[in-house]
Amino acid sequence: MAQDDYNPDIVMVTDEDGCEYVFEALDRIETDEGQFVALAPLYDSDDEAPEDDEFIVLEVKGEGDETFLTPIEDEALLNELGSLFEERLMLMFSDDEDDEA
């Protein structure tokens, strides 16, 4: 995939205090426990971004036409999902790098 073809899936998240945050949706999965998304925060400049790759995992819930992203309370589930997303993302990005070579 050429770099010009890249169209990130941008997600705006508003917390309960009304603060808005901008993320890129990296991946989504559905398990027996529910639907989940891995999000990477987007920064205004490269200077603000941390040196290590970071992402957060949230549960996707819906009511009617509205979609809510909620924190995962179960630490064991969160760790399991984090490892699964990390593995999937490494495979996705290593495939992209192989395509460019």
pLDDT tens figures, 65-90: 888 899 999 999 999 999 999 999 98
- Which residue in 41, 40, 37 sits closest to 68, CA to CA? 37
The whole-angstrom separation of Cα 7 and Cα 15 is 25
H or E, element range at 98: helix 75-100
- Please report the pLDDT score of residue 50 as a whole number: 65
What pTM value is reported for the model? 0.77
Percentage above 90 pLDDT, the chain:
50
4: phi then psi, degrees, rounded to nearest 5: -65, -20
Task: Please report the pLDDT score of residue 17 as a whole number.
Answer: 93
**pLDDT score recorded for residue 62:** 87
What mean pLDDT is reported for the chain?
84
16-31 pLDDT per residue, tens: 899 998 999 999 999 9
